[in-house]
Structure 1
Amino acid sequence: MSTDTDTETQPHVGCVIGDDGRITFDLPPGSPEGQQLLLRLRPKKGQPEKTVHVLDFEPAGERHCAVLNARPVLTEGRWDVYLLQEPGSQRQRPRAGLRDLRALVDGHRRPRPSPLAVRIPYVTKDGHLAVRAWLRDAHAEAEGIDVSARSMTVRARLHGASLQEGSVVSLRLRGAGATAVTVEPRAGDDGRSLSFTVDYAELAAGAPPGGGVWDVFVRPAAQAPSMRVGRLLDDLADRKKIVVYPAADIGGTGLRPYYTVDNDLSVEVTGKP
């Protein structure tokens, strides 16, 4: 079991992220020279480790910094941060220092190149530094959700795609194959912004006994692949327990929009008679 003393003596690594996704990691003043930073793509349960990046710390005034450039992009997933006291030495998990994420706060307002590459440094449950990464050919960013007693209205913006003839919003019942509810999006003048309203009664009627989950997708054109609607372009690595929307009651059935563990938008149906 760790103690407060253990926490205080563990090394700390801070970071600053730039508008282009570049992350500069820094060690406190007086840290030993010759250290390296290792980023490891967290493997799925039971799978071996496959991908790592090793960065050198270089002197920068009184501190030492290691820079993860915007390219190459990171594979989508969670990246754990480690320190190496010297090349090839045993890994050590650092505590999270100061994280400057101001460049990410209004990230949903800026145009993004394709493929969309997102990085958000965050603190793990046990206080260590990690990086959340997304990598998608195209993405529909949820910019606002208005909920009422009968429906929800979503405002979104496309990155890496534009609305064309045949565009459609679909809510797919998770685990139910082709079961879906479709809604026609309202397109903005720029061809990238859109909004749509979902009637809760239709979702409640289509859910199985006991409830279910509807995942939200946008297909920007008739022959284009569908993309998930989500919120990736700000400073929150995990939205599910932070951004909580109120539930509505439709004849004893509860409906609530929420963000999944991947920050994608879904609607939960519970308590269906």
Structure 2
Amino acid sequence: MTKTTGTALATAPRAACTADADGRITFHLAPPDPAAFPSPRLLLRLRPKKGEPEKTLRTLDLTAGGDGRLSAVLNPLPALPEGRWDLYLLPAPDGERVRLRPGLRDLRVLVDGHLRDRPSPVAVRIPYVTKDGYLALRTWLRDAHAEVTGIDVTDRSTTVRARLHGASLDAGASVRLRLRGGKGVERTAAPRAGADGRDLAFTVDHTDLLPEGRTGDRVWDVFVRAGADAPLIRAGRLLDDVADRKEIFVHPAATAGEFAVRPYYTVDNDLAVEVVRRT
């Protein structure tokens, strides 16, 4: 990826966007120079993994509105694959794409998104601004999801409250904390179910997460198994307007002997618990 220059960022066109409760996002742009953009369209590009070519593109038509602006609508269906999408203005089918800067982002309807129950598959879209100042879209697409609604950390344990979307608790339900890189090592907690089988809470003792022999740091990823034979559902916090919460929502660490135990959100906004030796 080439390094962004100040000139390129300053001259890039802007796009405003508005999200609605159904997952629809409308983009608005000022009309570009018709000589440079004879048939403009909006291009969404799924950012590939490092070293891999781009594979997934989505192109949207731009139409002129009564206010003179161009608009493009990203409808809820078909759902976008999970990942990060960069946005470009495409001057013509074979023209060189131009990356878009953010205008006004109206995401008010997303703030209370965790209050609306989602069917399976759970599809989430959040417009955000990249570190280098461009407009992008963060998406998640999962068969089911456990939305974290609260975390309480005490000296001895951590309690997590969550609500299932796209699934309900059944007989044999459990919470699984899987050791990252641990080849199947896990700890199990019993969920306390709410009245409708979708709210749940669980508590894990910090001593259960410490390394055997009291050596080495470790990370536990949190999952919910809705029934005895049900697939694992990742726990996290996706249903609001925050695309990257790892450095924003920071929970306190508890002391457990020589270690500090702290729940945190990963770069994908999934819930994990880290256990690190105190310095």
TM-score (norm 1): 0.95
Find out whether 1:219 has 2:225 as its counterpart.
yes
Tell me the amino acid that sits aligned with residue 214 of structure 1. W
> How far apart are the structure 1 equivalents of 2:125 and 2:160?
24
Would the aligned equivalents of 1:57 and 1:65 in 2 still touch at CA under 8 Å?
A: yes
1:69 and 1:18 map into 2 onto residues whose CA distance is 10
Deviation (angstroms), 1:205? 4.6
1:19 maps to 21
Measure the CA separation in 2 of the matches of 1:101 and 1:206. 45
Q: Aligned partners of 1:54 and 1:104: how far apart in 2?
A: 24
Q: What is the distance in 2 between the residues matched to 1:265 and 1:206?
A: 22
1:206 shift after superposition: 4.6
- SS of equivalent residue, structure 2 residue 58: strand
Q: Secondary structure at the match of 1:40?
A: strand
The one of 263, 271, 279 aligned to 1:265: 271
Q: In the alignment, residue 19 of structure 1 is paired with which amino acid?
A: A
d(CA) in 1 for partners of 2:50, 2:213: 31
> Alpha-carbon deviations, 1:138-172, whole Å to 9, x = none?
11111111111221111100011100110000111
Deviates more, 1:84-93 or 1:246-255: 84-93
1-structure distance, mates of 2:130, 2:263: 25
The alignment partner of 1:178 has SS state of coil
Local SS of the residue matching 1:202? helix
TM-fit CA distance, 1:54: 0.8
Q: How does 1:121-160 map to 2 (within 5 A)?
A: 121-160=127-166
Q: Which amino acid aligns with 2:32?
A: S
Alignment equivalent of 1:108, drawn from 84, 104, 114 = 114
- Counterpart pick for 2:261 among 252, 255, 265: 255
Shift of 1:254: 0.7
Q: Output aligned runs, 1:23-102, within 5 Å.
A: 23-28=25-30, 30-32=31-33, 34-62=39-67, 63-102=69-108
Identical pairs, percent: 61
For residues 223-268 of structure 1, give each alpha carbon's deviation from its aligned partner in whole angstroms, at most 9, with x where no partner exists: 1011111111111111111110111111120111000011110000
Tell me by how many angstroms 1:208 deviates. 6.3
- TM-score in terms of structure 2 length: 0.93
For the residue of structure 2 that corresponds to 1:171, the secondary structure is strand
Greater shift in the superposed pair: 167-176 or 55-64: 55-64
Question: Contact 2:122–2:145 at 8 Å: present in 1 too?
Answer: yes
Matched residue pairs, number? 271
Distance in 1 of aligned mates of 2:72 and 2:166? 30
CA distance in structure 2 between the partners assigned to 1:66 and 1:209 by the alignment: 55
Query: Helix, strand or coil: the match of 2:210?
Result: helix
State the alpha-carbon separation in 2 of the partners of residues 8 and 271 from structure 1.
45
**RMSD over aligned Cα, in angstroms?**
1.6
The match for 1:10 is 12
Structure 1: give runs of 5+ residues left out of the alignment: none
Q: Which amino acid is 2:137 matched to?
A: V
**Long gaps (5+) in structure 2:** none
Matched AA of 1:54: T
Q: What do residues 43-90 of structure 1 show as CA deviations (whole Å, max 9, x unaligned)?
A: 111212111011121112221110110000000111110111233210
The letter of the residue matching 2:66 is: G
What CA distance in whole angstroms lies between the structure 2 residues aligned with 1:191 and 1:2? 52
Q: Which amino acid aligns with 1:59?
A: A
SS at match of 1:195: strand
Partners of 2:46 and 2:123 in 1: CA distance: 15
Please say if residues 173 and 214 of structure 1, whose CA atoms lie closer than 8 Å, have aligned partners that are also in contact: yes
